C-alpha cells in the first residue's frame, strides 16, 4: 500500500519520539494532518506540548487506548526495523516515513520505487550501494562526457547484480552464424543518410520491460521483426516475446535462461509467423507453448542475415535499412544508469544482452 493510500485509509496516527531538530518537520506535518481531522497520538512530551494531546510512553501504551492506523516520525535508518516490528505488534496498517528536515535521498528513492528491505543488514548494504552509485553518477555528469547518467530503479544494485538479474540472457557462444551478409562490408558509407531514426518513422514499438526473465534475445528478435514488417507493409505490429520464450526451445533457445536472436528468427520462419502481443501476452516466466491457440500470425519473415562482426560500415549500412538486432555488454554502469545523449564509452566485448539498434 502506498503512503497516499495509507493516509487516506487511516484515522489515528502515532508520532514516535524524536530529538527537537529531527522532529520539527514531522510535527509541522502532524499539525497539518491534525487540522485535516486526523487524530494524532504523540509518543513524547515535546510532541504532546506542540499538538495539545496527551503523550504516551510508547506505542504499546498508545495502542491500549487507541487503534493506531499509522506510525510516523522516525528518521535514522537504524530506527526503522525496531519501530516496524512494534507497528506490526500493535496491528498498525504501516509506516509513514517522514524524514524530517534533513534530506535523505536514499529513503526518498526507496519509497518512490517501492523498495522494502527485510533486515537492518540489507538496508545498510543497499544504502551503501546506492550512495556509491549516486557518487559515480554525479561524477560522470560533472565531466565533459556528451551523455548523461541518472539515478533509476537499479540504483541499489551492484554491477554484478544488475548483470545477473537483467543482462545475462544473450548466448553468443552457442552459434557461429552461416548467414553473414558480406555485401554490407562493401557499402559506400558516404552515400548513406547522415542520420536515421526508426522510432520517428513509426517502425519501432514503445519500450518494453523484460523484467527479471533472461529474455532479452526475444525482445531484440521481435524488434527487428516488427521493424521490417512496418517497412514492408506500412503497418507496425506488436508481436509476442512470450511466444518465443515458450516455443523456440527446439531451435536452441532456453526461455528465461537465455537465447539467441538467430534462433528466434528461425522459429518464426519455421512457424510461418508469430502471434501478436495481445493474443500471446508477456508473462516474464517460462511457460507451456500456446502457439496453436493464439490465432493468426501478426507478422512473418522468410529469412534473415547477420551483420559482419567488427565492422562499423556494415552496421551503419544495416541500420540505415531497418532496425537491427544486436548484442552489447550491459554489465557496466554506463548501461545501468544511461539516460540520454550519444554514449561515448568503452563498450566492452563480453556480449551479454540483446537489444535493438533503431538508428
Choice among 213, 216, 247, 275 that is catalytic: 216
In Å, how far are 49, 169, 175, 320 from 302, measured between CA atoms? 78, 25, 20, 20
Spatial separation of the C-alpha atoms in residues 149 and 20, rounded to whole Å? 38
Beta-bridge partner residues of 43: none
Neighbours of 238 (CB within 10 A): 14
E strands, 20-153, in order: 39-42, 70-72, 94-96, 147-149
Closest by CA position to 161, among listed 283, 329, 336, 285? 336
Inter-residue contact 262 to 304 (CB < 8 Å): yes
Q: Does the CA dihedral 262-266-269-272 come out positive or negative?
A: negative
103 annotated active-site = no
Choice among 210, 242, 254, 336 that is catalytic: 210
Residue by residue, DSSP assigns 280-339 as S---SS-----GGGS-S-SB--S---BPPTT-HHHHHHHHHHS-EEEEE---SHHHHTEE
150's grid cell: 541518472
Helix (H, G, I), strand (E, B) or coil at 147: strand
210 annotated active-site = yes
Spatial separation of the C-alpha atoms in residues 151 and 241, rounded to whole Å? 28
Inter-residue contact 239 to 226 (CB < 8 Å): yes
216 annotated active-site = yes
Choice among 243, 322, 332, 353 that is catalytic: 353
210's grid cell: 523484460
Active site positions, annotated: 210, 216, 353
Amino acid at each position: 500500500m502506498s503512503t497516499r493510500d495509507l493516509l487516506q485509509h487511516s484515522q489515528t496516527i502515532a508520532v514516535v519520539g524524536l530529538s527537537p531538530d529531527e522532529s520539527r518537520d514531522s510535527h509541522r506535518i502532524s499539525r497539518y494532518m491534525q487540522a485535516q481531522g486526523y487524530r494524532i497520538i504523540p509518543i513524547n512530551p515535546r510532541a504532546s506540548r506542540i499538538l495539545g494531546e496527551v503523550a504516551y510512553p510508547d506505542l504499546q501504551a498508545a495502542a491500549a487506548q487507541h487503534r493506531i492506523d499509522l506510525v510516523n516520525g522516525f528518521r535514522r535508518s537504524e530506527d526503522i526495523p525496531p519501530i516496524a516490528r512494534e507497528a506490526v505488534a500493535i496491528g498498525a496498517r504501516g509506516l509513514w516515513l517522514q524524514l524530517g528536515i534533513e534530506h535523505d535521498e536514499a529513503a526518498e528513492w526507496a519509497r518512490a520505487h517501492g523498495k522494502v528491505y527485510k533486515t537492518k543488514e540489507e538496508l545498510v548494504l543497499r544504502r551503501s550501494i546506492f550512495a556509491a552509485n549516486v557518487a559515480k553518477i554525479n561524477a560522470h555528469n560533472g565531466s565533459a562526457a556528451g551523455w548523461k547518467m541518472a539515478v533509476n530503479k537499479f540504483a541499489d544494485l551492484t554491477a554484478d547484480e544488475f548483470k545477473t538479474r537483467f543482462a545475462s540472457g544473450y548466448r553468443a557462444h552457442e552459434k557461429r552464424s552461416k548467414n553473414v551478409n558480406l555485401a554490407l562490408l562493401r557499402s559506400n558509407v558516404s552515400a548513406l543518410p547522415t542520420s536515421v531514426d526508426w522510432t520517428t518513422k513509426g517502425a519501432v514499438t514503445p519500450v518494453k520491460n523484460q523484467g527479471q526473465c533472461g529474455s532479452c534475445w526475444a525482445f531484440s528478435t521481435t524488434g527487428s521483426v516488427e521493424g521490417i514488417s512496418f517497412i514492408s507493409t506500412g503497418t507496425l505490429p506488436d508481436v509476442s516475446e512470450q511466444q518465443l520464450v515458450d516455443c523456440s526451445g527446439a531451435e536452441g533457445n532456453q526461455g528465461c535462461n537465455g537465447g539467441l536472436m538467430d534462433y528466434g528468427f528461425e522459429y518464426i520462419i519455421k512457424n510461418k509467423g508469430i502471434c501478436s502481443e495481445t493474443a500471446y501476452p508477456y508473462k516474464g516466466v517460462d511457460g507451456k507453448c500456446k502457439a496453436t491457440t493464439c490465432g493468426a500470425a501478426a507478422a512473418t519473415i522468410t529469412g534473415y542475415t547477420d551483420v559482419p562482426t567488427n565492422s562499423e560500415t556494415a552496421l551503419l549500412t544495416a541500420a540505415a535499412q531497418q532496425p537491427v538486432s544486436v548484442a552489447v555488454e550491459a554489465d557496466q554502469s554506463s548501461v545501468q544508469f544511461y539516460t540520454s545523449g550519444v554514449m561515448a564509452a568503452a563498450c566492452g566485448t563480453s556480449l551479454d544482452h540483446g537489444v535493438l539498434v533503431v538508428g
